[in-house]
Amino acid sequence: MKNSEVPTMALRRAVQICNGLDALGDRLNVSTETLEKMLLGELEVPQDLFTQVVGLLLEATATRAPKKDTPDSNDGGRKGPRH
């Protein structure tokens, strides 16, 4: 993955989280047409918009409950014997 792809990938993920372009556009105060052009690579994602998208993604993932199988770094790591 190239660094130049990250803003577009983040935008795609935000569309999924918001359940569509219209909802994301409302959330970011950007027209659907502009978002479509950004997703197609016709327009660059401005830095301030990218920052808003990252904040939205962080907010969405922070509200999810962690998976029970994911070890907590505070638990001291490995539970069973080493192989």
Give tens-digit pLDDT for 2-21: 667 899 999 999 999 999 99
User: Which residues, at least 6 apart from 25, have a Cβ–Cβ distance to it below 8 Å?
Assistant: 31, 32, 34, 35
Give tens-digit pLDDT for 23-35: 999 999 999 999 9
Domain boundaries, the chain: 3-62
Give tens-digit pLDDT for 31-75: 999 999 999 999 999 999 999 999 999 998 887 666 666 555 565
